[in-house]
């Protein structure tokens, strides 16, 4: 009987010490981060997610892909800039706008300022607010999901 009490006490102590691990550890899943290859930014009610520039090389045609979200109650005009090119888009209230070259997407085609594998810069400026400037990953068609964008870009350009 005495041995059972010792085993129970050890099991109880182990349970308490293991349960306490999460008290001191930082919960990283509550931190905002970019979960994919692209970059994101938030300015006011507008947030950009997974922005990437897809191209075959520096000085070549490039497509900006990603999504803009509007958490506000009113539609918002947003100026997006990559290099010397800018485009103004309207993001619906409580909605989203997808940038890309597919059906139902808003096209933003520019010239790549850098080689694939390097970083360019993207600026996102909702009307009446200071722009957010973020590093913009530049990718080529090495990964199959981006090769499809290059095929769309060739058709768009042609």
**Higher-confidence residue: 15 or 155?**
155
Residues written for the chain: 158
Alpha-carbon distance of 37 to 49, in angstroms, equals 10
Q: What are phi and psi of 117, to 5 degrees?
A: 100, -15
pLDDT digits over 130-153, tens only?
999 999 999 998 999 899 999 999
**CATH code assigned to 39-157:** 2.60.40
- 1-18 pLDDT, tens digit each: 567 767 666 767 666 666
Which residue's structure tokens are 């010792």?
6
pTM of this structure: 0.79
Q: What is the pLDDT of residue 25?
A: 63
Terminal CA-CA length for the chain: 85
pLDDT at 6: 74
pLDDT above 80 for 158: no
Which of the two residues, 71 and 24, has the higher pLDDT score?
Answer: 71
Q: Would you say residue 40 has pLDDT above 80? A: yes
Integer CA distances (angstroms), 65 to 14, 55, 75, 76, 149, in order: 50, 11, 21, 19, 9
pLDDT score of 96 more than 90 = yes
């Amino acid at each position: 009987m005495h041995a059972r009490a010792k085993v129970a006490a050890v099991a109880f102590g182990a349970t308490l010490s293991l349960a306490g691990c999460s008290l001191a550890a930082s919960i990283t899943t509550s931190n905002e981060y970019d979960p994919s290859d692209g970059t994101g930014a938030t300015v006011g009610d507008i947030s950009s997610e997974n922005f990437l520039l897809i191209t075959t090389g520096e000085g070549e045609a490039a497509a900006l892909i990603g999504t803009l979200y509007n958490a506000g109650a009113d539609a918002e005009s947003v100026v997006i800039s990559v290099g010397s090119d800018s485009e103004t888009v309207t993001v619906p209230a409580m909605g989203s706008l997808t940038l890309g070259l597919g059906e139902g997407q808003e096209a933003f085609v520019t010239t790549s300022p850098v080689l694939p594998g390097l970083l360019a810069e993207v600026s996102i400026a909702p009307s009446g607010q200071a722009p957010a400037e973020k590093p913009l990953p530049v990718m080529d068609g090495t990964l199959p999901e981006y090769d499809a964008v290059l095929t769309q870009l060739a058709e768009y350009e042609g």
